[in-house]
Amino acid sequence: MQTEPLFVAFSTQKGGMGKTAVTVLTASYLHYVLGYRVAVLDCDFPQHSIVKERKRDEGMIIRKGYFSRMAFEMYSTGGRKAYRVKDSRAEKAIEDAQEMIAASEKAYDVIFFDLPGTLNSKGVVNTLATMDYIFTPVSADRFVLESTLQYALMLNENIISMGRGRLKHLYLFWNMIDGREKTPLYEAYENAIEELGLSIMKTGLPNSVRFRKEMSEDKNSIFRSTLFPADRNLLKGSNIDELSNEICEILRLKKDGKE
Ligand SMILES: Nc1ncnc2c1ncn2[C@@H]1O[C@H](COP(=O)(O)OP(=O)(O)O)[C@@H](O)[C@H]1O
Ligand SMILES: [Mg+2]
């Protein structure tokens, strides 16, 4: 039985690729839909955007009638309590995670770390090396791809191949895919990625406005929330369910230990 939680980060040097968005969506799916015990360490100092997002989500419950009813139903029907979101710094994230693990009565399955893209200190590199798995979002833009591959190769060569730290594997995945089909362009890129000895996930995420937090407040349905699972209708076609399931397979999360 696995007792230690797995450490997972969506990480890339490139800003705006979806690290924070995918962290929230995946954490919520694993916690509220699949029933794993999850926590999020928001290490993106000083923005701390997930900590702020949680505060906004809590504010919406108070302001909006339907949210409070939904919250009531969740908590009163044995629904799951919200996962913990804690602010931290990349340099002390592991220490904070260990403290959180020690303080919790029940064991966590997965702790997600939202890390800054800059590798400007030894502390950040050590924290990255202490992840069990890293998932790197990338888009099919030549320049984004080139710099992301450099980043992935650097981690592969300096951390994974050297056996330093906990990091077992890095997986790239496509984010913001335009169009429904995988085009020959993606196939060509995937061949190049594999030739470099890197792995790319089967599931990619489409480019879709529902990923943008700013869109969700005036709608009646929820997609991206730190407090609630995504509505089924919005989940459809988002690939967040497929991506989460593929991640669970990679992490070899136990199927029977869910609450
Ligand atoms: N698949 C997607 N489709 C559309 N917008 C997306 C997608 N993924 C992320 N975004 C949006 O792109 C912007 C940057 O994402 P964010 O998660 O903040 O990036 P990062 O944390 O890597 O800097 C956000 O507005 C986010 O909602
Ligand atoms: Mg971010």
Average pLDDT over every residue of 83-98: 96
**Is the shortest distance between the CB of 78 and ligand 1 below 6 Å?**
no
Kindly identify the ligand whose nearest atom is closest to the C-alpha of 24.
1
**Is the shortest distance between the CB of 20 and ligand 1 below 6 Å?**
yes
Arithmetic mean of pLDDT over the chain: 89
Average pLDDT over every residue of 82-88: 96
pLDDT of residue 1: 46
CATH homologous superfamily of 6-251: P-loop containing nucleotide triphosphate hydrolases (3.40.50.300)
The residue whose CB lies within 8 Å of the most ligand 1 atoms, and thus the one to mutate among 10, 24, 114, 176, is 176
Separation between Cα atoms, residue 97 and residue 101, nearest integer Å: 6
**Is the shortest distance between the CB of 5 and ligand 1 below 6 Å?**
no
**Is the shortest distance between the CB of 208 and ligand 1 below 6 Å?**
yes
The DSSP element (H or E) to which 94 belongs, if any, is helix 93-103
Q: Taking a C-beta distance cutoff of 8 angstroms, is the pair 216, 222 a contact?
A: yes
Q: Taking a C-beta distance cutoff of 8 angstroms, is the pair 113, 132 a contact?
A: no
**Is the shortest distance between the CB of 21 and ligand 1 below 6 Å?**
yes
pLDDT of residue 81: 87
The packing angle between helices 49-63 and 65-76, to 10°, is: 100
Question: For the CA atoms of 68, 73, 74, 77, what is the dihedral angle to 10 degrees?
Answer: 160
With tokens 């994974």, the residue in question is: 160
Task: Please say if the pLDDT value at position 181 is more than 70.
Answer: no
Cis-peptide into 116, omega within 30 deg? no
Predicted TM-score of the model (pTM):
0.93
- Domains of the chain, by residue range, sit at 6-251
Task: Please say if the pLDDT value at position 71 is more than 90.
Answer: no
**Is the shortest distance between the CB of 18 and ligand 1 below 6 Å?**
yes
The DSSP element (H or E) to which 71 belongs, if any, is helix 65-76
Task: Please say if the pLDDT value at position 132 is more than 90.
Answer: yes
Q: Taking a C-beta distance cutoff of 8 angstroms, is the pair 26, 112 a contact?
A: yes
Query: Measuring CA to CA, which residue among 7, 22, 16 is closest to residue 239?
Result: 22
The DSSP element (H or E) to which 192 belongs, if any, is helix 184-195
Model confidence pLDDT, tens digit, residues 31-57: 999 999 999 999 999 899 999 999 988
Nearest CA to ligand 1 atom 24: 212
* Amino acid at the residue 195: E
Model confidence pLDDT, tens digit, residues 139-164: 999 999 999 999 999 999 988 888 87
The residue whose CB lies within 8 Å of the most ligand 1 atoms, and thus the one to mutate among 10, 13, 14, 20, is 20
How many angstroms separate the alpha carbon of residue 69 from the centre of ligand 2?
31
Q: Which atom of ligand 1 is nearest to the CA of 213?
A: 27
- Provide the pairing of β-strand 6-10 with 110-114: parallel
